[in-house]
Chain A
Amino acid sequence: MLRDKFERNDKPVKIVLIYLALITMCLITVYPALNMLTIALRPGNALFQSNLKIIPDNATLANFETAIFKRNLLLWMRNSLLVSFLTGIIGVIFATSAGYAFSRYKFFGAKVTLTLFLLTQIFPAPMLLLPTYILLAKLKLLNNFLGLIIPYAATAVPFCVWTLKGYFDTIPRSLEESAYIDGANVLTTFFKIILPLSKPALAIAALFSFMTAWNEYIISRIIITKPQLATLPLGLVNMQTAFNTEWGVYSASALLTSIPAMILFVSLSKYLVSGLTVGSVKG
C-alpha cells in the first residue's frame, strides 16, 4: 500500500510540496558535482560552452586520460595516499590506547586532559599555523611528509579519542576481569580481548584520520613547496587557480579525487554526528 509509505497525517498536497522542496535542495547540492562531470566529459575544442547540458555533445574521456597519464595526478595521488595512510595508522594507534585508558581507569588529570582534547577543536587554526610552521622549519621537517603527518595526526587524535572512549565504554568490564582472573596481564587483555571487539570503532577512527589528511589544503600549502612532493590538494588548487587553467583536465582530476572520499564520508556520516547528539538530548 502506498499509504503505508507516508505519514498518516500528511495530506497529499503537503507531501507533494515536501518533495518539491527536497528535490530542489537535492539539485542544489548535487549540481556542482554534475558540473564537474560535464566539464570533464567535454571534448578539448568545446571547453567553453554556454549551455547547461549535463552530458555534453561528443562526450569523451580524453580529459581523464590526460589527467592520469600526461599530468601529475598519479604522483599526487601516491603522495596523498602515503601521507593519509600513515596519518590514519598513527591516529588510530595513539587514539586507541588513550581512549582505552580514559574509558577504563580513573586517574589524576583524566578529566582535564579530556577537556583539553575537546578544546583543541576550538582553537583557531591560523593561530597554530605560524608557530607550527616555524617549529617544523626548526625540526627540518619542511618539504618532508613527516611535517604533514605529525600536524594531521595531532588534528585527528582528539576527535578519535572521544569516539573510541565512547565505544570502549559500551564493552562490559567483566570480560577483562575474567581475563585477569585467568592470569592475563593488561597488555594481553587489551590486544587479545578489547581490540578484536572494537574493529568497527577502530575503522571509523582510522578513516577519519585518513580523510583529515586526504582533504587538507591550508597546512600542506605552507609545508610542501617541492612539486614532486605535492599532495592532491596542492596539485589541484595550483592546477585550477593557474591563469590558463585546463578546466577539463582539472575537473577530471577533481572527480577522481573526490568520489572515493565522498563515498567513504557518506558511509561514515552516521557516526560522525552521533558523538555530538548522543547524550546531549534529554529524551
Chain B
Amino acid sequence: MSAVSTKTSKPTKTPRIDNIRNRNLAIKWWTPYMFIIPAILIVLLMVIYPLVFGVRLSLTNMNLRNFLNPKIIGLDNYIEIFTDPEFYITFGRTILWTFANVSMHVVIGLWLATLINRKLMGKSLIRVLLILPWAMPEYIAVLTWFGLFNYQYGAINILLRAIGLSALPWLSNPNFLFSAAIITNVWLGFPFMMMVSLGGLQSIPTELYEAADIDGASSWQKFKNITLPMLKPVLVPAATLGAVWTFNKLNVIYILAKNSSDSRVHILVTKVYRAGFDYYRYGYAAAFSVVIFLILALFASSFIKAMKGTEEVY
C-alpha cells in the first residue's frame, strides 16, 4: 500500500512526445473522460455517496418508525456509543479477533509457502488442495463449519471423543463460539497469505541463498536474514489489507451466531449489522460505522507510517 500516493500529476506545460502525438491523432482532451465515466459514476454512486450520506445519517435518530422524517439529534448517537461500556469490551474483542486471525494467517501461510517453494512431486495438486478454503464460497464454508461444530453430530466433537477428550459446547458457549469463529476464519484466510508469500518467494534471486550457503549459514539464518526481509514489501501490504478485511469480516461471526442471542461473541461490525438490520436503528448504526471507519483509518495510516520508518533502517 506504500505504492498509494495521493499526489496529483500536474498537466505538463512542456509538450512531451506523447502529447504531440495525441494531438496529431485528433484525440480530444475529453476522450479519456468518456472512457472512464461509467466506472467513475458507479463507484461514486455506490461508494462515495453512501460514505457522505452515512456521516449525515449518523447525526439523526432515523429508525424503522421515523424512516421518512428523521430528526437531527446532533452527537447523541456518538455519546450513546462512547458511554456504553460494552463498546470498549467489543472493541477489545475485535482487536483480539483481528490479531489472532492475521497472525495465524501469516504464520501458516508463510510456513506452507516455504514448504511448497521447492521441487516436489505432486506440487501442483498440493497447491490446488491447499487453496480450496479460499475457493469455496465463504458463506458455504462458514455454514459447513457450523455443521462441523455441532455438539452431537459434528465431526470436531466426534474427533475429540475419539481421542478420549470430552465434547465441547462450540455453538452454545460464547467463548467457544468465538474460538470456533477464529478457527473458521483462520481456515478461510491462510491460503491467501500462502499464495502471496509464494509469489514473493519465487521472486527472491537464488544467488542470495547460494552466497549464504558458501558462507555456511543455517536454514534459520537464511530465513531470518534473507527470506523475511525480502518478503517484507509483499507481506506488509498483504497483512495490512488482511487486518482491515478481518476487522471488517461480517460473514463468519454473523452466520455462526445467527441463532444465538448472546452478545458476547460479537465484534464491532457484526454489532453494527445487527443494530442496523436486525433492530432497525439506522442513525445509531451509521454513527457506529463512522466510529469503525475512523478506527480503521487511524490503524492503516499509523501502520503504514511505522513500516515506512523501519524500512529506512534496512
Q: Give chain A's interface residues, CB within 8 Å of chain B.
A: 4-7, 10, 15, 18, 21-22, 25-26, 28-33, 35-36, 39, 48-52, 90, 93-95, 97-98, 100-102, 104-113, 115-135, 150-151, 153-155, 157-158, 161, 177, 180, 185-186, 214-215, 217-218, 221-222, 233, 236-237, 240-241, 243, 247, 250-251, 254, 257-258, 261-262, 265-266, 269, 272-274, 276-283
For A50, the closest partner residue in chain B by CB is B158
CB distance from A151 to the nearest CB of B (A): 5
For A269, the closest partner residue in chain B by CB is B131
- Does residue B307 face the partner (Cβ distance < 8 Å to A)? no
- Does residue B75 face the partner (Cβ distance < 8 Å to A)? no
* Known contacts A26-B126, A130-B286, A262-B135; A240/B146 CB under 8 A: yes
Residue from A7, A25, A112, A113 having most chain B Cβ neighbours under 10 A = A25
Q: How far is the CA of A107 from the CA of B27 in the complex (A)?
A: 12
Query: Which of B7-15, B82-90, B95-103, B173-181 lies on the face that meets chain A?
Result: B7-15
- Give me 28 A-to-B residue pairs in the complex whose CB atoms sit less than 8 angstroms apart, sorted by A's number: A4-B119, A22-B112, A28-B187, A29-B133, A32-B136, A32-B144, A39-B147, A94-B38, A97-B35, A102-B36, A105-B27, A107-B32, A107-B33, A110-B9, A111-B8, A116-B48, A125-B248, A125-B250, A128-B54, A131-B53, A131-B54, A157-B39, A185-B26, A214-B137, A217-B251, A261-B136, A262-B132, A266-B132
- Does residue B241 face the partner (Cβ distance < 8 Å to A)? yes
- Does residue B298 face the partner (Cβ distance < 8 Å to A)? no
Residue from B18, B43, B133 having most chain A Cβ neighbours under 10 A = B43
B300 in contact with A158 (CB, 8 Å): no
A274 in contact with B155 (CB, 8 Å): no
Q: How far is the CA of A125 from the CA of B38 in the complex (A)?
A: 22
Q: How far is the CA of A208 from the CA of B145 in the complex (A)?
A: 25
Which of A25, A97, A126, A282 lies in contact with B36, CB distance below 8 A?
Answer: A97
A254 in contact with B282 (CB, 8 Å): no
B139 in contact with A32 (CB, 8 Å): no
* Known contacts A101-B32, A269-B195; A127/B203 CB under 8 A: no
If over half of B's interface residues share one DSSP class (helix, strand or loop), that class is named, otherwise mixed; here it is: helix
Which of B8, B115, B230 lies in contact with A22, CB distance below 8 A?
Answer: B115
A218 in contact with B250 (CB, 8 Å): yes
Question: How many B residues have CB within 8 A of the partner chain?
Answer: 110
For B293, the closest partner residue in chain A by CB is A127
- Taking A262-B135, A266-B135 as known contacts, 15 extra A-B pairs with beta carbons closer than 8 A to each other, sorted by chain A number, are A6-B118, A22-B130, A32-B145, A50-B152, A90-B42, A105-B35, A111-B7, A122-B244, A127-B51, A128-B47, A128-B54, A132-B50, A154-B45, A273-B199, A283-B204
CB distance from A122 to the nearest CB of B (A): 5
- Does residue B116 face the partner (Cβ distance < 8 Å to A)? yes
CB distance from B215 to the nearest CB of A (A): 15
Q: How far is the CA of A49 from the CA of B155 in the complex (A)?
A: 10
* B1-34 interface (Cβ within 8 A of A): 3-9, 11, 18-19, 21-22, 25-27, 29, 31-33
For A114, the closest partner residue in chain B by CB is B4
* Known contacts A22-B112, A127-B289; A215/B39 CB under 8 A: no
Q: How far is the CA of A258 from the CA of B293 in the complex (A)?
A: 32
Q: How far is the CA of A148 from the CA of B208 in the complex (A)?
A: 50
B43 in contact with A35 (CB, 8 Å): no
Q: How far is the CA of A201 from the CA of B191 in the complex (A)?
A: 23
When distances are taken between beta carbons in the complex, the residues of chain B under 8 Å from A30 are 129, 132
Q: Give chain B's interface residues, CB within 8 Å of chain A.
A: 3-9, 11, 18-19, 21-22, 25-27, 29, 31-33, 35-36, 38-40, 42-43, 45-51, 53-54, 57, 108, 112, 115-116, 118-121, 126, 128-141, 143-148, 152-153, 155, 158-159, 162, 187, 191-192, 195-196, 199-200, 203-205, 230, 233-234, 237-238, 241, 244, 247-248, 250-251, 254-255, 258-259, 269, 272-273, 276-277, 282, 285-286, 289-290, 292-293, 296, 300
A122 in contact with B300 (CB, 8 Å): yes
When distances are taken between beta carbons in the complex, the residues of chain A under 8 Å from B159 are 52
Which of A7, A134, A243, A280 lies in contact with B53, CB distance below 8 A?
Answer: A134
When distances are taken between beta carbons in the complex, the residues of chain A under 8 Å from B233 are 280-282
For A238, the closest partner residue in chain B by CB is B258
Top 6 closest pairs, chain A to chain B, by CB: A154-B46, A277-B199, A131-B50, A101-B35, A98-B39, A265-B135
